[in-house]
A and B are shown apart, each in its own frame.
Chain A
Amino acid sequence: MDVEILSRIQFAFTISFHYIYPPLSIGLGLCMVLMEGLYLRTGNAMYEEMTKFFTKIFALIFGIGVATGIVMEFEFGTNWATYSKYVGDVFGSALAAEGIFAFALESGFLGVLLFGWNRVSKGMHFFATIMVTLGSMFSAIWIVVANSWQQTPAGYHIVGHGLEARAEITDFWAMVFNPSSVDRVLHVWIGAFLAGSFLVISIASYYILKNRYVEFAKKAFGIGLTVALLSSYAQFFAGKASAEIVAKYQPVKLATIEGHFDSSASADMYLFGYIDTKNKTTHGVAIPGGLSFLTHYDFNAPVAGLNAFKPQDRPPALNIVFQSYHIMIAIGMLLIALTTFGFILLKKNKLFNKRWLMLVFAWSVFLPQIANQVGWYTAETGRQPWVVYGLLRTSDALSQAVTANQVVFSLILFTLVYALLFALFIFLLNRKIQHGPGYENDDESETHSPRLEEMAGSFGGTIP
């Protein structure tokens, strides 16, 4: 294998692994803000326990997120030197802003969030929780702005020729608010809210299934489900807005997403299927003219197809783009159904005794994670063969000085270290969940403990 494919595999692997954690931090952070806010408003000690319990899980997730995040910044320089030279002038400022405004904010206040319980006032601690969450959301802004610039470049001009060519910034705000950045930031944020809230839901469902910390779990479930319900609907609209941007600015990606070849025909929208790359057709179950309707509000309007683009300007892996996109959409729809169903049952007080549904919710933590991953696969593989859309090809973006052997070496290291890291993460997460929230009684009889009944009594069993 050559340096290009190895470097691509390494970047894809390291960033996919990293991307398990930041969305969890953002979403869990939001849930913790709600929990601690409820604690300050009601004074109910159970919400304090809840915040502390999830803070410990948050610390675990955040730690791995930071450690695996620096890797990508370094890989820009080590593996993608030409790319770094090309884009440095334009979105170096976005990355610098991310470091200064976002990372410093979240990491600074993280210390107070984790260790400041007895050192600052309750209000100040709540403020720190909010700052950490805001900081993690800000970092999403800048990194998505930088990525969006690669998808829909704006506010730049090209200086120099050949290997010396590079993009220089002409308008900072045009770069920041490039055509796709706002919609994509929202899309990413909501995806993160889903990831975090489903983690809360999953842990709560597990406790309910095991009949442990039941009152605690019901309250946590309520908070998680509220965030998840609102987010899953919001994601429908944010996703649609992102799709419209793709239709307008990246017609090749759009054609690949639905496996549409013939430019003179109307385009279908597939529920599922596959692209037959040899015969240039797509098989599956489709809404006829669905994509035409989405882009032109007319079922018969022709949509630019893959045949209209030169082979060297099309994504090489058509089916990865197609399948990733359809898995994302399917999960998105499933999440809407699941959260709506759960919410109706919750309001009817019939939710928590449905064991099968609790089991579904306990496993549902994987759904937003998968959707977040494949969503990015769609965006990034659909952009190929360009690293900066229409300007710089991925094959031209490499480091000239780096050899295949070096990348093999680092790829093996990353694989081993990340496998270990992931195993440790699951092990420790499980231990934390087994250990449960801070109060005593970790056996089944705890639901009869006087302290818990007293706590349960004090909030009257209502769920927010």
Chain B
Amino acid sequence: METFLGIDYSTWWFLVVGATFTGYAILDGFDLGAGAIHLFFNKEESRRIALNAIGPVWDGNEVWLVIGGGTLFAGFPKVYAAVFSAFYIPFMLFLMALIFRAISIEFRSKEPMLWWRKMWDVSYCISSIVVTLSLGVVLGNVLIGLPIDKAGNYMGSTFDFLNPYALMVGVTTLALFMMHGAIYLVMKTEKRLYTKLTIIVKNSTIFFVISVLLLSFYTLLYVPHLSLRIKENPWLFFIPVTMVLAVANIARRITQQRYRQAFLSSAVVISLLLILIAVELYPNLVLSSLDEKYNLTVLNAASSTKSLKIMLIVAAIGVPLVGIYTGFVYKTFKGKVKLDEMSY
């Protein structure tokens, strides 16, 4: 087994996939969340400001989905094939919602009629919620494990994805993104919308705390394999502990009106949740509920070392570039939203 800095290449790529998923969740997470709370704003101007707060960046954020899918496809084609063909219906709903969401943002401002704008507002909000829920539901199913056979083919039936645990993960994801999105919008707004958003931030944080607690208890009781590693290695308890501190810090920073710190804390919460999942799953990527031997692991599902090496070079060149111009774009649109002639 070839290694780089003592770690084999497929584990390196596991980290890359994890990092792009985390990047996606942090970036698209806030604009999905902003969409999910969109209907809480009543005034036309508030809705426009909320939309323009994500206007210049949502497209770039969504690219992380393409990159994330690409890294999984490239590095672990067997996992990509197994998971995507297993969850045909949720992924199709996800795609439809993604399309509706894009056109809602794009089309809303193109006509002044009230019914037109309201229609796209509703479509924007619902599609943001469907995108988030379906992602969460797929994640939840991957966490409990799938009935996959030796060849990695899904043996379950079409609607097995609708189970309590997966739905709970879906709702928790939604709560997390709502909180994350609301904090982002607070950062970008002023006056009355801002005041309103501070209330939404509080409520969505409470919503998140309740759902994540319920999910944790359910996991401990009914999905024991997701807490094995942390029980065997107590030092890993620093992950959930830090997470609790980060959530507490969100509340503290909000009261201090230091929203950038609050936003960073919420990004930390998202990262820690994904790190926790990675720690518990590794070296497995997809657990087979039929037989442990059929688990798709970092080793048996990875592309060849040659391929992984090439892609690590691509990532090493590409990621800093993406970082530079993502930073530039965010810097350009820093500060509170101001509407002008080219706005949505």
Using CB atoms and an 8 Å cutoff, list the residues of chain A in contact with chain B: 52, 59-60, 63-64, 66-71, 73-74, 76-79, 81-82, 84-85, 87-90, 92-93, 95-101, 103-105, 107-112, 114-120, 131, 159, 163-164, 166, 168-170, 172, 399-403, 405-406, 409-410, 413, 417, 421, 424, 428, 431-432, 438
Contacts and interface: CB of A to CB of B under 8 A. Distances in A.
B105 to A, nearest CB: 8
Contacts of A104: 60, 63, 67, 318, 321-322, 325-326
Q: Which 7 pairs of residues, A with B, have the shortest CB-CB distance?
A: A88-B77, A92-B74, A77-B84, A111-B56, A100-B318, A81-B81, A399-B85
A301 to B, nearest CB: 41
Given A59-B106, A95-B70, A104-B326, A89 B153 contact: no
Given A96-B70, A97-B318, A78 B85 contact: yes
Contacts of B55: 111, 114-115
B142 to A, nearest CB: 13
Interface string B317-344: 0110110011011001100000011110
B221 interface: no
24 contacts: A59-B106, A63-B59, A63-B103, A70-B65, A81-B153, A88-B78, A89-B77, A92-B307, A95-B73, A99-B70, A100-B319, A104-B318, A107-B59, A108-B322, A110-B60, A111-B55, A115-B55, A115-B343, A169-B306, A169-B307, A169-B310, A401-B153, A406-B89, A413-B96
B329 A400 contact: no
A396 B105 CA distance: 40
A211 to B, nearest CB: 25
Chain B interface, >50% SS class: helix
A115 B85 contact: no
B82 interface: yes
Nearest to A438: B341
B102 A63 contact: yes
Contacts of A166: 77
A109 B330 CA distance: 11
Given A66-B102, A77-B73, A108-B326, A168 B66 contact: no
B88 A78 contact: yes
B192 interface: no
Contacts of A78: 84-85, 88, 91-92
Contacts of B59: 63, 66, 107, 110-111
B100 interface: yes
Interface residues of B, number: 73
* Among B69, B70, B83: residue with most chain A CB under 10 A: B70
B314 interface: yes
A114 B202 CA distance: 33
A444 to B, nearest CB: 24
Nearest to A78: B84
A168 B304 contact: yes
Given A67-B99, A77-B81, A417-B99, A119 B332 contact: yes
A73 B69 contact: yes
Given A101-B318, A107-B60, A417 B100 contact: yes
Contact of A96 (B74, B106, B321): B74
A167 B342 CA distance: 48
Nearest to B311: A93
Nearest to B332: A119
Contact of A406 (B78, B158, B310, B332): B158
A422 B99 CA distance: 12
Given A417-B96, A424-B107, A88 B329 contact: no
B91 A115 contact: no
A58 B153 CA distance: 42
Contacts of A421: 99, 103
Contact of A114 (B56, B62, B100): B56
A172 B326 contact: no
B66 A99 contact: yes
B57 A111 contact: yes
Contact of A77 (B85, B89, B321): B85
B325 A68 contact: no
A404 B299 CA distance: 33
Interface in B149-167: 151-155, 158
Contact of A163 (B82, B151, B314): B151
Contacts of B71: 96, 99
A400 B153 contact: yes
Nearest to B318: A100
Nearest to A105: B325
Contacts of A403: 158
Contacts of A81: 81-82, 84-85, 153
Interface in B80-133: 80-86, 88-89, 91-92, 94-96, 98-103, 105-107, 110-111
Contact of B84 (A67, A74, A108, A410): A74
A120 B328 CA distance: 11
B77 A64 contact: no
Contact of B77 (A85, A97, A116): A85
A409 B89 contact: yes
B332 A120 contact: yes
A300 B179 CA distance: 74
B303 interface: yes
Nearest to B340: A118
